[in-house]
Chain A
Amino acid sequence: MLRLSLNAVLSPIGRFALWGVLLLAMIVTGFVQWQQGAHIQTDILAMLPHLQQDKLTEKALNKVEQQLANQVYIAVIAPNETQAIGAAKQLMTSLNQSNQSPFTAVRSGADDNLQHLAKVYFEHRFGLLTPEQAQAIETDNWRQLLTAAQSQLYSTFGFANSQLLSNDPLLMFPANLLALSPNNALRSQQGILLTDSADGVAAIVMAKGRDSAFSPNAQQQQIQALESALSHINQQYSQVSFLKAGALFHAIAATESAKQEISRIGLISMLGIILLVWLAFRSVMPLFAALLTLTSGVVFALVATLSLFGELHLLTLVFGTSLIGVAIDYSFHFYCEKQAHPNDNASDTLRRIFPALTLALATSASAFIAIGFTPFPGMQQVAVFCAAGLIGAYLTLLLVFPLLGNHALKPTPGLTLAQGYLTLLKRIFTAPQWWQKITIAALLLCLTAILFFGLSKADANDDIRQLQQSPAAITTEENKLRQLLSGGTDNQFILVSSNNEQGLLQTLEQLTPVLNQAIGDGELDQAISLSRFMPSIASQRHNYELQQQLYQQHLHEIISNMGLDDNINTSLLRQLEQAKSKYLTPKEVLALANDDLRALWLGAVATTEQTQQYGAIVLLGGIHSLASIEQRLTRHDWSLGQVQLIDKVGDISALMGQYRQLTLQLLVWVFALACLLFSIKYGIKLALAIVSVPALSVLLTLACLGLVGSSISLFHALALILVLGIGIDYSLFFAEAKHTSRGVMMAIFMSACSTLLAFGLLALSQTHAIHFFGLTLLFGISFSFLLAPFISFITRKTV
């Protein structure tokens, strides 16, 4: 109805003008969006689903991400320490002085707060004891401590000196302070973190990007600042080499490879399609019309996505190049139909293909909309991008072709070839010679075998880590640096919470031996907890009582055995008395702690309007068995708080798995529904035949994926929906073409070729998500194309 009224109101020129206005409006909107800060997003995490979390977990995740995000780590490797320190200092200066200061918090090992912190701990020394010291006093073995202190006295470079001895005659404080320093192979010299590497001495420099490493602008600024700094250093220190790690380098690699893929895959698609059109029609006009359809489709797609999301994910753009394949089908249908009926004018041809075209748009658009219902921001973008692009192409066809499509077409061998192919198929599969029967039986057997073996090998893998894979060079460099930094921390962490501060501190203290056990059993390499830095009041009180008892009973003996001055006695007992009930609080520690330590403290978080929870993060490094750590944590009875293992990557992966299953279920329902609908129009037999083409394609695709060892993920499942949509299109066209199939065969051949050129080429992508998508479509579309012609044999029999 809409088309008829449009037809009545508008002449071809009027329609063209309407299209011009629409396109102009789109371009202006897009330009305004861009001016308002719309940008291209390259962070793969941004396309992953959002998880539902309680407030404390959310805050913990944000804190951990904030701490780790946008960090750049550089190891300056030099033959000796002097060069390493000099080069690292120069690097820090030049990063700080870079244009537009893309980096903040440029630092190395300098931790000036350590001395202040040590001073605070010293004031609270009567409340501090290491577990070994506490045990020695509790079990009345304090003389062990005395002998250790005595031998310490003789040590040339030891820590015994007059001030320490008069305040801590058993020299117990140093062990407590040492227990705070993380157990790693790094040392600090002149404020520079150093470690020994196979190639010499490595100095570690860290910096935080001011803006997100995934913003292309910030990316450029940061990498330029870094590269110019590094090349300046190499001018002065020619033997210095570097190791770099951080999200920045992954992001740049992702941007580079996506850019390359867009241009490479886009170019190959484009060239392939141009060649295809030229061979089919031997005319420039269809080519021009096809490109016009495509361009306006892309403009519609871009503007719609930017308006809805305010940004365009780079992955969307790469997926979007596949739009070419579908949008261009429209002009193929038009020209194939026109070639088959050379006497029609453009408006007549349009009228002829309008029902099929609208049906095609509706099915493709529904397939995309189905994808859009997944909770993935990235996939929603892809859906909007493709749906808008198709609508753009559809409108272009309706509005522009009546004016431009009147060009007469020369007959080409395309139609004859298509007819020849169909006849050949028919001769092979319908003439019942004995050898043909054997061939068919062998083929069927082969097919069954593929299905059987393939499907039995098919498995699922929803781990999102497989989606982002950076070039080996970057990961190798990162692993080397990680080794220098002795491990680093993993994505998973432990969230400890309680409804009061002391409960939290005590739970942290209870957690320490559990994690130490896990480390001892090889499930974990290290855990970074605040517990060492913030003893609870209960443990401080206990330690104080132990020391009080020790000094009150044995101070004389200690002083005489250590050969100390007697006047220490009164001053020490006075200090002990003054320290009574003066407990070290988290607030005091946090005031002096560095950022790394502060990031572990969540403090009070309002969980509902009335209640609040105190939370702290325990970072884990070198996890070897997440499951057994989780088991340990759940097995333990935490009387004063809660201990949870937070695994965002695992949670998202699980969610991906759920949606993969949901998508596959959806697929089955769509098949059932299609059967039902088609049987109303075509009868049950033909309906089953129509649906069996995409159904068999999907099964064969799954089998082939199993054979090539590609584990099914959500991206495979999403591609299967497209296989379904396109496969149904193909068999529908054959079912509709009652008299002659050669036009349809040619159009479907061209459509399949262009889809394979566009989608199938995505299988070459380095980005795993895109590769999965492309590979599935490559198989799916090929099978649909091979199977669809058989529909025409059935229609010939039934009709």
Chain B
Amino acid sequence: MNTRKGMFTQVWIVICLCLPLGNIFANEHSLASSNEPLTQAQLADVQALYTQPATTEALSALAQQLNLQLDTRGQFIQQRHLQVLKKPLLSQGQFIFSPTQGLVWQQLRPFSTLMVLKDQQLIQQNSQGKVQQLNAMASGSPIAQQVPRLLQAIMAGNIAALSADFTLFMPANYNAGTPWQLGLQAKDPQLRASMGNITLSGDTLLRSLIITSSQADISDYTQIQFLDAQQGPLSTTELELFSLGSESNQ
């Protein structure tokens, strides 16, 4: 019974990054082959991280090292490994993160969807181009309303904001200036059960995000890699993406 607990609470999360009604063929995974699944050793590493609470010194060193205050864009590749699936699910696309504007998450394969996260608004466009606006306040699930905010804090690497909602973990042997790993575990038990452990890693930028179950006996995991990240002011086309929701309002 205990192993099911995660599942029951999981459903309270609303479909934040869920992209409704696309034409998907789950078997069609024609993506770049550079993405190997995590090895057992890597997964064990990730699990081990959650026994090492982050020290204040390490966190402040990390905060100095991170350079996430600028607008950043790049590619992402997501792999979802669910035990019950015959094959892992691969998807890829591009993202734009701006501390002032918010987050654009544009999936291009296997089908295209667009998600824009701005203030407390979550705007989605599915593969048929239909725009749907989910006001975080009206989206129904109590937890769903927090996810946009948490995502923004995660993408910004805003350690002060993160430590309000999460218990933070870092390897004991972290040296300032070297690649880093940061483990996030939600303080709220329901949220913890549904979000799992979120492991961020990078150097001056965020390079990958791994979500594992907070329970040892569930081997499902999701890995997102951020590639070709570039920093610099937003172009006009990029800014237009952020105005997806306001267009639909008119």
Q: A154-B89, A157-B13 are in contact. List 14 more A-B contacts (CB 8 A).
A: A81-B164, A122-B8, A152-B15, A156-B16, A157-B195, A158-B18, A162-B82, A163-B3, A163-B218, A178-B12, A181-B141, A188-B190, A189-B165, A562-B26
Smallest CB separation, A404 vs chain B (Å): 75
Interface 1/0 per residue, B90-101 and A, CB below 8 Å: 010000000000
Q: Which of A171-196 contact B (CB under 8 A)?
A: 173-174, 177-178, 181, 183, 185-191, 196
Smallest CB separation, B90 vs chain A (Å): 9
Question: Quick check: B224 and A565 within 8 Å, CB to CB?
Answer: no
Contact of A181 among B18, B140, B187 (CB under 8 A): B140
Question: Does B72 touch A at the CB level, under 8 Å?
Answer: no
Residues of A within 8 Å of B146, CB to CB, are: 187, 189
Question: Does A612 touch B at the CB level, under 8 Å?
Answer: no
Question: Quick check: B82 and A186 within 8 Å, CB to CB?
Answer: no
Smallest CB separation, B146 vs chain A (Å): 6
Question: Quick check: B5 and A161 within 8 Å, CB to CB?
Answer: no
Task: Output the nearest chain B residue to A187 by Cβ-Cβ distance.
Answer: B142
The docked-state distance in angstroms from the alpha carbon of A191 to that of B188 is 7
Interface 1/0 per residue, A143-173 and B, CB below 8 Å: 0100110111111111111111110000001
Interface 1/0 per residue, B5-34 and A, CB below 8 Å: 111111111111111111110110000000
Question: Quick check: B78 and A159 within 8 Å, CB to CB?
Answer: no
Residues of A within 8 Å of B194, CB to CB, are: 159
The docked-state distance in angstroms from the alpha carbon of A308 to that of B9 is 58
The docked-state distance in angstroms from the alpha carbon of A150 to that of B113 is 13
Question: Does A5 touch B at the CB level, under 8 Å?
Answer: no
Residues of B within 8 Å of A157, CB to CB, are: 13, 16-17, 147, 151, 195, 211
The docked-state distance in angstroms from the alpha carbon of A186 to that of B9 is 17
Give me the interface of B with A, judged by CB distance under 8 Å. 1, 3-24, 26-27, 78, 80, 82-87, 89, 91, 107, 111, 113, 120, 126, 137-138, 140-143, 145-147, 151, 164-165, 187-191, 194-195, 211, 213, 218-220, 222, 224
Smallest CB separation, B105 vs chain A (Å): 9
The docked-state distance in angstroms from the alpha carbon of A493 to that of B86 is 52
Give me the interface of A with B, judged by CB distance under 8 Å. 80-82, 109, 115, 118-119, 122, 144, 147-148, 150-166, 173-174, 177-178, 181, 183, 185-191, 196, 561-565, 568
Task: Output the nearest chain A residue to B110 by Cβ-Cβ distance.
Answer: A154
Residues of B within 8 Å of A155, CB to CB, are: 15-19
The docked-state distance in angstroms from the alpha carbon of A161 to that of B82 is 6
Q: Does more than half of chain B's interface fall in helix, strand or loop, or is it mixed?
A: loop
Question: Quick check: A177 and B26 within 8 Å, CB to CB?
Answer: no
The docked-state distance in angstroms from the alpha carbon of A729 to that of B126 is 86
The docked-state distance in angstroms from the alpha carbon of A152 to that of B20 is 7
How many A-B pairs fall under 8 Å by CB?
162
The docked-state distance in angstroms from the alpha carbon of A707 to that of B220 is 78
Smallest CB separation, A743 vs chain B (Å): 76
Smallest CB separation, B144 vs chain A (Å): 8
Question: Quick check: A150 and B24 within 8 Å, CB to CB?
Answer: yes
Decide: A185 near B140, CB < 8 A? Known: A115-B5, A147-B24, A154-B24: no
Question: Quick check: A118 and B11 within 8 Å, CB to CB?
Answer: yes
Task: Output the nearest chain B residue to A188 by Cβ-Cβ distance.
Answer: B142
Task: Output the nearest chain B residue to A173 by Cβ-Cβ distance.
Answer: B11
Residues of B within 8 Å of A564, CB to CB, are: 84-86
Report 19 cross-chain contacts, Cβ distance below 8 Å, ordered by A residue. A115-B8, A147-B24, A151-B20, A151-B111, A154-B18, A156-B211, A157-B16, A158-B17, A161-B7, A163-B6, A165-B84, A177-B11, A177-B12, A178-B11, A178-B141, A185-B145, A189-B146, A562-B26, A563-B26
Question: Quick check: A174 and B16 within 8 Å, CB to CB?
Answer: no
The docked-state distance in angstroms from the alpha carbon of A760 to that of B186 is 65
Question: Quick check: B7 and A163 within 8 Å, CB to CB?
Answer: yes
Task: Output the nearest chain B residue to A165 by Cβ-Cβ distance.
Answer: B84
The docked-state distance in angstroms from the alpha carbon of A209 to that of B65 is 53
Smallest CB separation, B37 vs chain A (Å): 15
Contact of A565 among B3, B12, B80, B86 (CB under 8 A): B86
Question: Quick check: B10 and A164 within 8 Å, CB to CB?
Answer: yes
Question: Quick check: A161 and B8 within 8 Å, CB to CB?
Answer: no
The 9 closest A-B pairs by CB, nearest first: A155-B18, A174-B11, A187-B142, A563-B26, A162-B84, A162-B83, A156-B17, A150-B24, A163-B7
Smallest CB separation, B149 vs chain A (Å): 9
Residue of B5, B18, B126, B138 most packed against chain A (CB within 10 A): B18
The docked-state distance in angstroms from the alpha carbon of A150 to that of B111 is 11
Residue of A186, A190, A563 most packed against chain B (CB within 10 A): A563
Residues of A within 8 Å of B140, CB to CB, are: 178, 181, 183
The docked-state distance in angstroms from the alpha carbon of A136 to that of B14 is 21
Residues of A within 8 Å of B11, CB to CB, are: 118, 159, 164, 173-174, 177-178
Smallest CB separation, A550 vs chain B (Å): 19
Task: Output the nearest chain A residue to B19 by Cβ-Cβ distance.
Answer: A151
The docked-state distance in angstroms from the alpha carbon of A144 to that of B20 is 10
Question: Quick check: B82 and A160 within 8 Å, CB to CB?
Answer: yes
Residues of B within 8 Å of A165, CB to CB, are: 82, 84-85
Residues of B within 8 Å of A181, CB to CB, are: 12, 140-142
The docked-state distance in angstroms from the alpha carbon of A530 to that of B237 is 50
Smallest CB separation, B156 vs chain A (Å): 16
Residue of A150, A155, A564 most packed against chain B (CB within 10 A): A155
Residues of A within 8 Å of B23, CB to CB, are: 147
